[in-house]
Every structure is written in structure tokens, then in C-alpha cells.
Amino acid sequence: MGWLTTIKKGIQRINYYLCLVGMFLLIPMMLLTAADVIGRAVWARPIPGAVEICSYMLAIFILLGVAYTHQVKGHVRVSMLVSRLPERAGLILDSMTTLLSLFILSILAWQGWVVGIEERTVSDMLRIPQLPFRLLVSVAGVFLCLELLIDLSTSVGKLVRR
């Protein structure tokens, strides 16, 4: 079991660092947006391409943070029904929803790669290629799948021990 714990900690550490990369994009995005608004309001001269750059930064922030958000259980979760079930039934239901999520996200990661690798378009104003941002959907899907596998192994482990 020692190597499974090492793999789990490694995946969680990678997700943490990916989230940090995304978080550090928030400050330049905030400054660029503020400068664009001030330039537009005061001098009637917006920064060309600011909206494009900010939208790409926002996509990176969201995609790199989704697996870490799942890791720390930061997503919205409604447990009104599950909290009233017996523990074993709750674990079974949790395992089933994790398996369904894993299936859906596997398709998302796979199709994100298929669509992303064929991408040849560029942005309208700054001509930034969309390929890396489309492939980031696949990367985010893979890391979220890894987090879901960790959750599934935890749930199944609790079921087996009971």
C-alpha cells in the first residue's frame, strides 16, 4: 500500500502546483482588466486585445484549478439524501457517482485531445493559436480523472474494510 500512497500524494502535489500556476494568472488578468477599463473610460483608448488575453487567462485559471478544487472538496455538493442513508449505502452511492463522473470525464479528456490536436484557428485580434488552450481541456480532464480514481479507491477501500 505504500506505493499507492506515494502515487496519490504525487498526483495531489501536481494538482496543487497546477492550481498555483492558474492562480498566479489572476493578478495580471486583474491588472490588465483594470488598465483596459481605465484606458477606455478616461482616455477613450482601450488596450487592443485585452479581452482576448483575459479570456485565455480565465480559461487557464479555471482548467488548471478544477482538479485541485475537487481534491479539497471545494465543489458544490448536495448531501441531503446521502446523509440520511446508512453508511454502506452512502459509500455505494458515492462509488457509483464517482464511476459515472469518471466515465463522463474520460470522454471529455479523450474528445478534448481529439478536437484540440486538430485545432488550427487563431484568435481574431492578436492571432494567438487556440491549440494549447484546447489541449488544456484534455489535460484538465486527465488530472480530474486521476483525482476521481483516488476518490473511488478510497470509497471502495472503505466498503471492503466494512
More confident of the two residues 60 and 78: 60
pLDDT, average across residues 76-89: 85
Whole-prediction pTM: 0.88
**C-alpha cell at position 30:** 486583474
Residue 1 has pLDDT above 70, yes or no: no
Convert the pLDDT of each residue in 104-125 to its tens digit. Answer: 999 999 999 999 999 899 998 9
Given this model, what pLDDT does residue 35 score? 96
Total tally of structural domains belonging to the chain:
1
C-alpha cell at 94: 458515492
- What per-residue confidence (pLDDT) applies to 61? 95
Distance CA 115, CA 132 (A): 11
Q: Is-contact 57 28, C-beta < 8 A? A: yes
pLDDT tens track for 83-103: 888 989 989 999 999 999 999
Using an 8 Å Cβ cutoff, are 46 and 40 in contact?
yes
Residue ranges making up the domain that contains 66: 2-161
